[in-house]
Every structure is written in structure tokens, then in C-alpha cells.
Amino acid sequence: MISLDFNFNILTRDLSHYLENQVKVGLFGSGVGLSLVLGFSAAYTCYYLISVAKKPQLISGGKKFYQFLREQCPVVSETYYPTFWCWESRIQTLLRPFVTAKPGVVYRNELIKAADGGQISLDWFDNDDSLAHPDPATRPTVLLLPGLTGTSRESYILHMVQQSRDLGYRCVVFNNRGVSGETLLTPRTYCAANTEDLETVIAHIQRTNEAAPVMAAGVSMGGMMLVNYLGRKGRETCLKGVVVFSAGWDVFECTASLEKPLDRFLFNSYLTSCLQASVHRHRPVLEKCYDIDHVMKAKTIREFDERFTSIMFGYPTNDDYYHDASPVHKLKSVQVPMLCLNAADDVFSPSHAIPVETVKQNPNLALLITCHGGHIGFLEGLWPRQSTYMDRVFKQFAKAVIEQGSRLTDLS
């Protein structure tokens, strides 16, 4: 580190000396202004390289899974360099939807029936041009679960579809009820705790392509639902592997974090309004069972859940719902190889609630924790439009699970 500082000091001194003698600066009248700028830039670069850019922490409950990830997914051992001008958590979270590109993807929509008479919207990317897997009967399938109010059109979903297309895989996006434009046929939407619709979707995928291997990726609430599903099913699932991004592990801690003044202003109120907008779109069918006027007056996600979600799914109290929705309680029962990526600075999933010790007790689990990245941010590069750190984790893990899955059959 002394060598690094020394080199930057020499660079700053030499450039400053040159500019003071060779460059006329109208704004400052001398090279002193540029010297200050260069000095600040050198200091910022030092701070970034020393305090911001760091290798992620990889934690696993077993040596086999740990070694598998180190060998097959080199990204888990590489230094994560967040975009230098927006590495702060909230900025990463807020900018990601605007700065990342939305790859062009043409979906095939399918509506399937649920047990209660409702319908579930699936968006398929069949990838019929796949060279690696030309036979659709055996072409690997990747199931994608978006976040709380997300759909198949979210940039992070489109990026995973693009990565899967490059690998030759097929994708199917599970849109939660009522969020992607389809009609709500019954007075029921979705929540992180209830996995009945997800079970229906996975069974349908398996019946449709019985010979094709299936893996899944869940983002934020989609990841929470996926973990809760795995915790309940144990080994009784066709999924070969799972990757989860920015999951909220303890819903009590997540909501408490989002109720802090700044985060309530930046995130909580907006997400609450998105949830209310979805309820308003389906008001004719929902108002028969719920007090929609009361729901529309909610100011936070907690108030929305108290007035709507917990009631819809039959919980005695909202605390009962939050306990059941918290994936941390299901981790010990997961029997499928699962990699979870979280950022330590994610305000949606505070670092003290990341279940490090629980993960260490299950050989099927691995946690990858970056110092920065925010919530579904993980921006990297000078102008992070095309790819993020999260995209690279997804692509490498998906390829490892599909092509080296035989090594993951017994991780104990």
C-alpha cells in the first residue's frame, strides 16, 4: 500500500508541475486549480482502490460446494469494482433501472390455470436458434422470478434472459398474479410466504419439457419466494440449482430498515404506491372481499401488508405473516445447491440480518457478500449499461449447474 500511495504522489507531483508551467487555465488564472483537481482525483482513486473495490466474501456450509464455486465460477474470487462514480448503496439502487440497457427480447406468453380458478402469466423465451442445445426437448430451462412489483420486462430479468440465450438455454419468467397485464380472475394476488403458484408453475414446466434440466433464479421478493419453496419441498423438486439475488432474509428487519426517514422517502413510499396501483387496477374483483379504500390509504409497505396481504392469505396478524415470509427460517431445510448474492450495504436487506451462521450449517448453501452493490444494483464499469456483477454471477453459476451438475448431487 505504501508503494501505491508513493506512485500516486509522484504522478500527482509530476503532472501538477507540468501543467503549472505549460497550461494556462482561464478559470483559475494558473495551474494551481488543476493541481487541486489532480490532487483530489489521486486521493479519490486511492480511497476507491483501498476502501471500495474489494473481493467478495464467499461463505458455504460445505467444502465441496465452496470448491465447486471457486473452480466453476471465478467471479466469486474476483475483486468487485463498483462503478466509481456511483458506488454508494442508494445511488446504485436508484440508478440501475435507468442506466442499464434493456436487451430486446421477444416472449411467448402462456396463461395457465391455478387451483383456485385464477390464472398465472408465464413469459417464455424459447431460444429456438440455440446452437448448443438445438433439441427443444432437452434444452435446459431457466425459471426467473422478478421482485416485488417486477415483471418479465425488468432490465435485470432481460439481462438474465440475454445471458441464458448466449448459453443456449431456454427461459421462462413467472409473473406474479395481476402485475403483467393479465386479468385477475379471483380475489387473490401474491406474497413471499405463499408458494402454491410457484409449485404450480414448476410442475407445469416439468410436464412441458420432461427431459430438460431446470434451474431457477429469484430476485428480491422472487428470491424470498424461491427459498421458501425450497425449504418446504426439500428434495422433492426438479430444480437442479438455484441462485438468489438481494433477498430479504428477515422481513421484520427489512421493513424496519425501509422505515428509516431517508429510505422511507426514497423507496418505501414509492413501492407502496406501486402495490396500491396494482390493487386499483383490479379493484372490481378485489373490493368484494377487502376494504380497498382502507388499503389505498396505506403509507408504507407494512401498513399495506397489515391491511391487505396478511388478510388475503389468512394470517391472524401481520407479524405472523412476516415470520412465515422470512426465508431465514427455511434455510436449514434447503436440499438443492443454492448460491445467494447480497450486498452488505443493501438497505432492503441490512447486513446484520444476512444469515451467515445459518448458511454455515447447511452444505447445500453458499453466500456471496459484496461490500457494495445496493439492492439489485451491482453496477460495474465506467458506464454500466451492458452488464453488471450480478449478471456475471448468474451466467457463470447457471452454466456450472447445467453443465457440471453431476458434481452437485451429494454435497454433504
The pLDDT, as a whole number, for residue 386 is 87
State yes or no: pLDDT of 289 exceeds 50. Answer: yes
* Strands 108-113 and 119-125, sheet pairing: antiparallel
The span from the CA of 157 to the CA of 300, in Å, is 26
The pLDDT, as a whole number, for residue 216 is 98
Give the model confidence (pLDDT) of 331-374 as tens digits.
999 999 999 999 999 999 999 999 999 999 999 999 999 999 99
Secondary structure E strands in 158-259: 170-175, 214-219, 239-245
Higher pLDDT, 213 or 36: 213
Per DSSP, 55 falls in state P
Task: Determine which one of 305, 324, 346, 391 is catalytic.
Answer: 346
In a domain, 194, yes or no: yes
The span from the CA of 346 to the CA of 94, in Å, is 12
The span from the CA of 270 to the CA of 93, in Å, is 13
Task: Determine which one of 152, 375, 387, 391 is catalytic.
Answer: 375
Alpha-carbon distances of 111 from 181, 207, 213, 301, rounded to whole Å: 11, 15, 22, 29
In a domain, 44, yes or no: no
- Residue 352 in grid coordinates: 446484520
Q: Which residues contact 239 (CB under 8 A, 6 or more apart)?
A: 143, 202, 214, 215, 216, 230, 336
Give the pLDDT mean for 35-48: 84
The span from the CA of 24 to the CA of 33, in Å, is 11
The span from the CA of 38 to the CA of 167, in Å, is 44
Question: What is the reported pTM?
Answer: 0.91
* Strands 170-175 and 141-145, sheet pairing: parallel
Domain count of the chain?
A: 1
* 25 bridge partner residues: none
Give the pLDDT mean for 195-210: 97
In a domain, 383, yes or no: yes
Domain region containing 357? 80-253+328-406
Report the amino acid identity of residue 170. Answer: R
Looking up residue 113, the CATH number of its domain turns out to be 3.40.50.1820
The pLDDT, as a whole number, for residue 30 is 53
- Residue 200 in grid coordinates: 404450480
Give the model confidence (pLDDT) of 370-403 as tens digits.
999 999 999 998 888 888 999 999 999 999 999 9
In a domain, 37, yes or no: no
In a domain, 154, yes or no: yes
Give the model confidence (pLDDT) of 56-68 as tens digits.
999 999 999 999 9
Instruction: Determine contact, residues 143/176, Cβ cutoff 8 Å.
Output: no
The span from the CA of 296 to the CA of 171, in Å, is 35
Active site residue 220: yes
The span from the CA of 222 to the CA of 191, in Å, is 9
Active site residue 133: no
In a domain, 317, yes or no: no
In a domain, 55, yes or no: no
The span from the CA of 171 to the CA of 139, in Å, is 10
3-state SS, residue 24: coil
Q: Which residues contact 354 (CB under 8 A, 6 or more apart)?
A: 249, 342, 344, 367, 369
Give the model confidence (pLDDT) of 55-102 as tens digits.
999 999 999 999 999 999 999 999 999 999 999 999 999 999 999 999
Q: Among candidates 72, 59, 67, 83, which has minimal Cα distance to 393?
A: 72
In a domain, 94, yes or no: yes
Active site residue 375: yes
Give the pLDDT mean for 132-139: 97
Helix (H) or strand (E) holding 143: strand 141-145
Task: Determine which one of 152, 180, 220, 246 is catalytic.
Answer: 220
